[in-house]
Amino acid sequence: MRWKLLRRRLTISAPRMKVRTAMPWPLRWAVIAIVLGFCGAISLWAFELGKSLAGLDTRAKEELVQLRSEVERLRDERDKVQSVLNTSGSLLTTERAAQSRLTAQVRQLEAENRGLRDDLAFFEKLMPVNANEAVAIRALQAEMLAGSQLKWQVLVIQHARNAPEFRGKLLLSLGGTLDGKPWSMDLPDGARDLRFRQYGRLEGMVDLPSQAVVKNVSARVVDGTSTRAVQSIQLGT
């Protein structure tokens, strides 16, 4: 067996040998990369050409344009809805504020109406059914306050329900003692104007001398030179 192998190598029938130059491995990798890149470019070109021939690229562009238009439309609708919501919120806030003001005004008017009804009922009780006097003083009140002040209040009424407006004056005088001697005084501002149709109410404050003692208060309603009503009250000492 060995003899046969040795004879084959030494005779003409031995296998031929070729001598080749070795290619450096960086150059080999560069060639491989260029080949692969060329193949990839051809594949991409073929893919794009296929899409173009099939009409896929055109449809994709049309769908993209439609989607962009739809997005813009939806944005416009959203902005409009947001604007309506903001306007509605402002109107609702304004309406609530106006409703609160109206509610407060209604409550105030109801309270004033109740007060007027109570005053009317009180004054109707004070009016006699058969009265001979057209004008009368129905309430004269006076009280001493802290210090040397006197608070007074006068209520004057007309008995007739549809009486014309009364125009006159109210005279108020105080009587008592000052330093143990008799003393009297009128209102510092003089007579007070009195104008009313059904009833008139006047009140005020009077500053007294430090040593004055008020014992009586007198009120008089005059119309020109004629006295229409007089009333006096006594104060406790």
Q: What is the mean pLDDT of residues 17-34?
A: 64
* Rounded Cα–Cα distance for residues 28 and 6 (Å): 38
Instruction: Render 6-29 in DSSP notation, one character per residue.
Output: HHHHHSTTSPP----PPPPHHHHH
Is pLDDT of 236 > 90? no
Pairing of strands 181-186, 212-223: unpaired
In the chain, DSSP finds a helix count (H) and a strand count (E) of: 3, 8
Token pair, residue 143, equals: 């009280």
Mean predicted lDDT score pLDDT of the chain = 77
What's phi and psi for 148, nearest 5 deg? Answer: -125, 60
Q: Are 156 and 194 in contact (CB under 8 A)?
A: yes
The pLDDT of residue 120 is 66
Of the candidates 156, 142, 138, the residue with the CA atom closest to the CA atom of residue 206: 142
Residues written for the chain = 237
80-98 average pLDDT score: 80
Question: Mean of the pLDDT values across residues 80-96?
Answer: 80
Distance between first and last Cα of the chain? 167
Residue 130's pLDDT is 45
Kindly state the average pLDDT of the residues 27-53.
68
Q: pLDDT tens digits for 157-207? A: 887 777 788 899 999 999 999 888 999 999 888 888 988 888 888 898 999
Whether the Cβ atoms of residue 211 and residue 185 lie closer than 8 Å to each other: no
Over its C-alpha atoms, the chain yields an Rg (Å, rounded) of 59
Count of other CB atoms within 10 angstroms of residue 152: 19
